[in-house]
């Protein structure tokens, strides 16, 4: 087992992505130093793709890309039996939605290969929401493919899609095939399959960053949309209902929410149990022994070989993603 006594949590340098719908929420809400003169909509926090690579920012592997670390320290990071050539299976993002995103869909596994794309199931956790912010997910009851296509031709799609107001703490699983859009005023933590295939079916008449309408993928979208997916609702847990709640449990990953009280709240796991991701939505955690602190907005990898012991420095809301191997 390599570096078994050295590895602790792994932090990564964010990869910022320009998006026409982006804003300044990553700076004002998460305290990030953003690049000048760019419209940042996404921060790719943990990513292992050809077009984007996370770089480790702490510990003995600092400076390595996630891909290189998986090749050289695979068993210590992921556990025995993990194929070091296999991409890390989860992609973690912060989404700063200053404007509404396109109406879009990701291809189900049954059609992804035929369309030349990758299936993508994702979970949204609303970290911050302005008054009146909403999500658009699924169809209104009774909408058929025919009525949807007619509305698409006439530019009246808002009459077909299901929209609902959200508040911080709401969580929703968006499986491949589910029609969706994030409305303006949301800061979303997105935990997803390692995929970047998105088909836009409608973009509200928007002009892109280059001054032209963005590309649509209408035919591909119509092949992917689940036309039996009516009026889904988010998971909502009042803050006084308990310390631990299951947010998502699908074949791609499991996500659990923890509410930790200052000083007494603790997350502790033995080494050689599992590999996990830890997401700090609010508050802060202190690592017992080293004194290292994780704060709001941090997303870290907890290696298979590492013993993990955190206490809440301040009241904290954190998510843990596991069972993604």
- Which of 100, 200, 257, 276 is an active site residue? 200
Q: Are residues 119 and 88 in the same domain?
A: yes
Question: The whole model's pTM is what?
Answer: 0.95
Residue 34 resides in a domain: yes
Tokens 């602790």 belong to 8
Instruction: Report, as an integer, the average pLDDT of 138-145.
Output: 98
Q: Are residues 155 and 301 in the same domain?
A: no
- CA nearest neighbour of 294 among 303, 306, 283, 305: 283
Tokens 């699924």 belong to 138
DSSP states of 64-95? -BHHHHHHHSHHHHH-TT--TTSPPSEEEEEE
Residue 279 resides in a domain: yes
| Residue 124 contacts residue 133 (beta carbons within 8 Å) | no
Residue 7 resides in a domain: no
Instruction: Report, as an integer, the average pLDDT of 58-71.
Output: 97
Residue 234 resides in a domain: no
The pLDDT score that the predictor gives to residue 7 is 85
The pLDDT score that the predictor gives to residue 237 is 87
- Domains identified in the chain, total number: 2
pLDDT at 266 over 90: yes
The yes-or-no answer on residue 49 being catalytic is no
The pLDDT score that the predictor gives to residue 3 is 42
| Residue 232 contacts residue 155 (beta carbons within 8 Å) | no
| Residue 105 contacts residue 137 (beta carbons within 8 Å) | no
φ and ψ of 80, to 5 deg = -65, 145
Q: Are residues 304 and 163 in the same domain?
A: no
Q: Are residues 183 and 282 in the same domain?
A: no
Q: Are residues 303 and 249 in the same domain?
A: yes
Residue 40 resides in a domain: yes
Q: Are residues 205 and 296 in the same domain?
A: no
Percentage of residues of the chain with pLDDT beyond 90: 91
Q: Are residues 315 and 204 in the same domain?
A: no
| Residue 183 contacts residue 163 (beta carbons within 8 Å) | yes
- Under the banding of pLDDT at 50, 70 and 90, the label for residue 241 is low
pLDDT at 210 over 90: no
Q: Are residues 210 and 304 in the same domain?
A: no
The pLDDT score that the predictor gives to residue 325 is 73
Supply the CATH number for residue 272's domain. Answer: 2.60.120.10
Q: Are residues 87 and 216 in the same domain?
A: yes
The pLDDT score that the predictor gives to residue 238 is 78
The pLDDT score that the predictor gives to residue 2 is 43
Q: Are residues 166 and 305 in the same domain?
A: no
Instruction: Report, as an integer, the average pLDDT of 48-59.
Output: 97
Percentage of residues of the chain with pLDDT beyond 70: 97
Residue 49 resides in a domain: yes
The pLDDT score that the predictor gives to residue 242 is 66
User: Taking all residues of the chain, what is their mean pLDDT, rounded to a whole number?
Assistant: 95
The pLDDT score that the predictor gives to residue 209 is 80
Host domain of residue 269: 244-322
The per-residue pLDDT for range 273-322, each reduced to its tens digit, is 999 999 999 999 999 999 999 999 999 999 999 999 999 999 999 999 99
Residue 1 resides in a domain: no
Q: Are residues 202 and 259 in the same domain?
A: no
The pLDDT score that the predictor gives to residue 240 is 67
Q: Are residues 215 and 66 in the same domain?
A: yes
């Amino acid at each position: 087992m390599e570096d078994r006594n050295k590895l602790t949590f792994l932090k990564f340098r964010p990869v910022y992505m320009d998006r026409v719908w982006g804003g300044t929420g990553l700076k004002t809400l998460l305290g990030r130093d953003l690049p000048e003169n760019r419209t940042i909509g996404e921060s790719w926090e943990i990513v292992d793709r050809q077009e984007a690579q996370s770089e480790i920012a702490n510990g003995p592997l600092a400076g390595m890309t996630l891909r290189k670390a998986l090749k050289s320290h695979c068993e210590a990071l992921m556990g025995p039996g993990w194929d070091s050539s296999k991409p890390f299976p989860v992609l973690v993002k912060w989404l700063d939605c200053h404007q509404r995103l396109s109406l879009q869909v990701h291809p189900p596994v049954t059609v992804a290969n035929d369309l030349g794309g990758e299936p993508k199931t994702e979970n949204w956790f609303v970290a911050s929401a302005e008054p009146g912010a909403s999500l658009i997910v699924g169809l209104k009851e009774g909408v058929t493919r025919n009525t949807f296509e007619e509305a698409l031709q006439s530019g009246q799609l808002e009459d077909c899609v299901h929209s609902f107001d959200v508040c911080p703490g709401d969580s929703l699983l968006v499986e491949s095939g589910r029609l969706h859009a994030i409305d303006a005023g949301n800061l979303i933590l997105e935990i997803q399959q390692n995929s970047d295939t998105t088909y836009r079916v409608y973009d509200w008449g928007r002009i892109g960053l280059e001054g032209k309408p963005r590309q649509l993928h209408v035919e591909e979208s119509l092949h992917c949309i689940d036309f039996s997916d009516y009026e889904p609702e988010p998971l909502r847990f009042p803050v006084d209902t308990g310390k631990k709640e299951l947010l998502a449990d699908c074949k791609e990953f499991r996500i659990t929410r923890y509410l930790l009280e200052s000083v007494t709240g603790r997350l502790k796991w033995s080494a050689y149990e599992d590999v996990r991701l830890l997401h700090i939505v609010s508050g802060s955690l202190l690592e017992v022994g080293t004194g290292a602190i994780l704060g709001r907005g941090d997303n870290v990898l907890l290696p298979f070989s590492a013993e993990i012991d955190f206490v809440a420095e301040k009241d904290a809301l954190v998510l843990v993603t596991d069972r993604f191997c």
